[in-house]
């Protein structure tokens, strides 16, 4: 059954000049390909990479529609965040850089002063200092 689903996915992919096999069907809000299987919507790249629950799929090509298994690798959430950071692809809502987060963790300033300095709320500073946010980032 998994092989049939993979064949369905590949049947709706188009090769690009960069070597991607780009999904031509529906996509989610982040641009990742989606397909319905047994009444459940699943992400195409996760099916192609045989991703187990708890693992993430990293795209070496940075194309969320790509289903080429040569461009996909499994990794942890931390691996994905490190990859994102190295490629300067942080989220649109992200206000802080990895360098700023490291500075916040090392700082002896008061939380309210750091929040004002970096333009974030107090809880953001607390969560960074306690490694509830940016936990993947090494000091």
Amino acid 51: pLDDT: 96
In a domain, 70, yes or no: yes
Single pTM value for the model: 0.68
Radius of gyration for the chain, computed over Cα atoms and rounded to the nearest angstrom = 19
In a domain, 34, yes or no: yes
Q: At what angle do helices 98-106 and 111-118 cross, to 10 degrees?
A: 160
CB 74 within 8 A of CB 81: no
> Residue 83 pLDDT > 60, yes or no?
yes
In a domain, 10, yes or no: yes
Amino acid 90: pLDDT: 62
Assess whether 62 and 116 both reside in one domain. no
How crowded is residue 42: how many other Cβ atoms within 10 Å of its Cβ? 15
Assess whether 10 and 68 both reside in one domain. yes
Q: Which of 13-22, 66-75, 86-95, 106-115 has the lowest mean pLDDT?
A: 86-95
What percent of the chain is predicted at pLDDT more than 70? Answer: 95
Q: Could you tell me the residue range of the domain that residue 138 belongs to?
A: 91-139
Paired with 13 in beta bridges are 23
Burial of 103 (0-12, 13-18, 19+ CB in 10 A): middle
In a domain, 37, yes or no: yes
In a domain, 85, yes or no: no
Between 36 and 2, whose confidence is greater? 36
- For residues 83 and 22, give the distance between their C-alpha atoms in angstroms, rounded to a whole number: 21
Q: How many domains does the chain have?
A: 2
In a domain, 83, yes or no: no
> Residue 17 pLDDT > 70, yes or no?
yes
In a domain, 128, yes or no: yes
Assess whether 66 and 6 both reside in one domain. yes
Amino acid 135: pLDDT: 82
């Amino acid at each position: 059954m998994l092989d049939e689903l993979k064949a369905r996915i590949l049947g709706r992919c188009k090769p690009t000049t960069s070597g991607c096999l780009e999904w031509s069907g529906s996509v989610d809000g982040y641009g990742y390909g989606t397909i319905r299987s047994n009444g459940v919507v699943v992400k195409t790249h996760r099916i192609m990479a045989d991703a187990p629950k708890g693992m993430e799929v990293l795209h070496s090509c940075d194309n969320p529609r790509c289903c080429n298994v040569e461009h996909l690798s499994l990794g942890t959430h931390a691996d994905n965040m490190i990859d994102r950071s190295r490629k300067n692809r942080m989220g649109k809502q992200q206000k802080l850089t990895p360098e700023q987060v490291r500075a916040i963790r090392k700082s002896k300033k008061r939380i309210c002063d750091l929040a004002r300095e970096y333009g974030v709320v107090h809880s953001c500073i607390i969560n960074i200092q306690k490694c509830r946010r940016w936990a993947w980032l090494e000091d």
